[in-house]
Every structure is written in structure tokens, then in C-alpha cells.
């Protein structure tokens, strides 16, 4: 009797896992590891979108707000809406203690809830679908380019790729991590996209919060001018970051 019940439970678990694998082909190993090895571990998730701005030979980077010693891609975290009820549904806890960042999709949840969380995320319900425009406007205002920010209503965007990291243990912490990133670019065939690109690269000359670099500089993680380039800038040119995971922030 006990063996029959145990076999039934095991069969049910395997069936659930296989169904998940079919729908989660892009996240095969993260799903498997969260379903098995790490299901009772704390998982840090970071869901973001970045903007690739290119003049043909160079890419535009901005001084990182959290790591001001380096430059990284324009863009940032995707936000969720209160109607998502993430704490109730997935035991999600925001990483930030600031009230204005409490709706960022950057925080912690039990790894066993990864599948359900990603199923919700991919439904695009109760969250930002396109966060790049908001992030760009906010970033431009933060670096005193208000006049340029005020001209932006919506961006002519083209989707480039999505990439993900993990699940990986973060050294010196008690948690594992899954990072997801969507990459967009300004549509080069759109007049507004070309104009904005020109204005952004023109701003590099007078604004030390912006940096124009080549693909090679990104992969070397250092600009010719000596500035440090964040490893996640590598996703602007390919599917791999340009170096090892940077040191985590204190919680």
C-alpha cells in the first residue's frame, strides 16, 4: 500500500516536471534545479530590460546608479502592479526597503515557487510589458537632460533578445540567484529613433554620466578613457556577460 502511494506521488511529480519542461524550454536548467536541488532555498530574482543605442560603431552606456564606479546599459528593472499580489501568490519579498522601489521585480522568493512565478511573468499580466521608455526618461532626468527627456513620449523599439543567468549561488550570501534580461534597440528605420540616437550621442560630449564605447571596449571591460564597464554590458553585443558576477550589495 505504502509503495503504491509513494509511486503515485513520484509519478505525479515527474508528470508535473515534464509538463513544466515542455512549456519552459528556454529555462530548462533553472526550472529543473528549482524543482529539485534548490526548492527550499531562497532565490533572488532580478527581471530587467535594457536599451541598446548604437551609432553603427559605438554603443551608449550610462553611469550605473547602484555601482557609480562603472558604466552599464540604459534601462533597468521591470515593475509589477499591486494587483499581482506577488507576496500572497509566490511569497515574494522586495529587495529594496525604499517605498518607491517596492514594486520592482527584484527580490526574493522560495525557489520552489520559481515555476509559478515565471508562468505569471510570461503571461505579462499585472506588470509592465515595456519598461524601457520609463527607465530612459527617469535616467535622463537624473543626469540633468530634462529637456531631452521631455521630448520622449514612446520609443520606436525593436526586440533583440532575452537572456538569463542562473540559477547560481552568490558567494558570501545565503541565497541563489536568477537574473532575466530583455534587450531592445531603437528602430534604425524610424526617424524619431534616428533623431534620439543622434541627440544621445551628442550629449556624450558634455555629460560625464554618458559614455560611448566600442564592442571591444565592452568585452575588455574598460574604455580607452579608462572608465570601468559593467559586466552586464556584454549583453548588448551577445548572449554572455563580459565577466564574472560582481560583488553583491549588503542586504
Tens of pLDDT, residue by residue over 124-144, are 999 999 999 999 999 999 999
Domain limits of the chain? 25-236
pLDDT at 47 > cutoff 90: yes
Instruction: Report, as an integer, the average pLDDT of 152-175.
Output: 90
pLDDT band at 10 (very low <50, low <70, confident <90, very high): low
On average, the pLDDT of the chain sits at: 89
Give the predicted TM-score (pTM) of the model: 0.86
pLDDT for 40:
93
Confidence at 18, pLDDT banded by 50, 70, 90: low
For residue 104, list its beta bridge partners.
79
Place of cell 512565478: 117
All three cell numbers of 37, joined, read: 536541488
What confidence score (pLDDT) does residue 251 get?
53
Q: How far apart are CA 75 and CA 136, in angstroms?
A: 6
In this predicted structure, the answer to whether residue 165 has a pLDDT above a threshold of 80 is yes
pLDDT of residue 16: 56
Alpha helices in the chain (DSSP H): 2-23, 28-35, 86-90, 114-123, 132-142, 146-149, 191-203, 215-220
With bands split at pLDDT 50, 70 and 90, how would you rate the model's confidence at 195? very high
Mean pLDDT of 152-173: 90
Question: How much is the pLDDT for 200?
Answer: 96
Answer whether residue 98 shows pLDDT above 80: no
Q: Provide the pLDDT for residue 89.
A: 96
Residue of 238, 237, 215, 218 whose CA lies nearest to 228: 218
d(CA 240, CA 242): 6
Q: How far apart are the first and last CA of the chain?
A: 48
Average pLDDT of the segment spanning 197-223:
96
Tell me if 122 sits within 8 A of 153, measured CB to CB.
Answer: no
Amino acid at each position: 500500500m505504502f509503495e503504491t502511494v509513494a509511486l503515485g506521488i513520484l509519478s505525479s511529480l515527474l508528470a508535473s516536471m515534464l509538463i513544466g519542461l515542455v512549456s519552459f524550454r528556454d529555462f530548462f536548467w533553472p526550472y529543473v534545479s528549482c524543482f529539485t536541488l534548490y526548492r527550499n532555498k531562497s532565490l533572488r530574482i532580478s527581471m530587467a530590460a535594457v536599451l541598446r543605442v548604437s551609432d553603427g560603431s559605438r554603443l551608449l552606456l550610462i553611469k550605473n546608479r547602484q555601482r557609480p564606479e562603472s558604466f552599464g546599459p540604459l534601462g533597468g528593472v521591470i515593475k509589477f502592479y499591486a494587483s499581482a499580489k506577488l507576496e500572497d501568490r509566490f511569497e515574494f519579498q522586495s529587495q529594496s526597503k525604499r517605498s518607491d522601489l517596492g514594486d520592482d521585480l527584484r527580490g526574493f522568493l522560495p525557489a520552489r515557487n520559481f515555476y509559478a512565478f515565471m508562468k505569471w511573468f510570461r503571461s505579462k499580466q499585472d506588470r509592465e510589458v515595456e519598461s524601457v521608455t520609463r527607465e530612459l526618461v527617469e535616467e535622463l532626468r537624473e543626469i540633468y537632460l530634462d529637456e531631452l527627456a521631455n521630448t520622449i513620449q514612446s520609443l520606436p523599439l525593436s526586440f533583440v533578445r532575452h537572456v538569463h543567468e542562473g540559477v547560481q549561488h552568490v558567494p558570501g550570501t545565503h541565497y541563489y540567484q536568477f537574473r532575466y534580461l530583455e534587450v531592445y534597440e531603437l528602430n534604425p528605420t524610424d526617424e524619431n529613433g534616428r533623431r534620439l540616437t543622434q541627440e544621445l550621442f551628442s550629449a556624450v560630449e558634455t555629460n560625464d554620466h554618458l559614455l560611448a564605447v566600442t564592442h571591444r571596449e565592452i568585452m575588455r571591460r574598460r574604455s580607452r578613457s579608462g572608465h570601468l564597464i559593467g559586466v552586464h554590458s556584454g549583453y548588448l553585443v551577445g548572449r554572455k556577460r563580459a565577466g564574472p558576477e560582481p560583488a553583491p550589495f549588503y542586504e
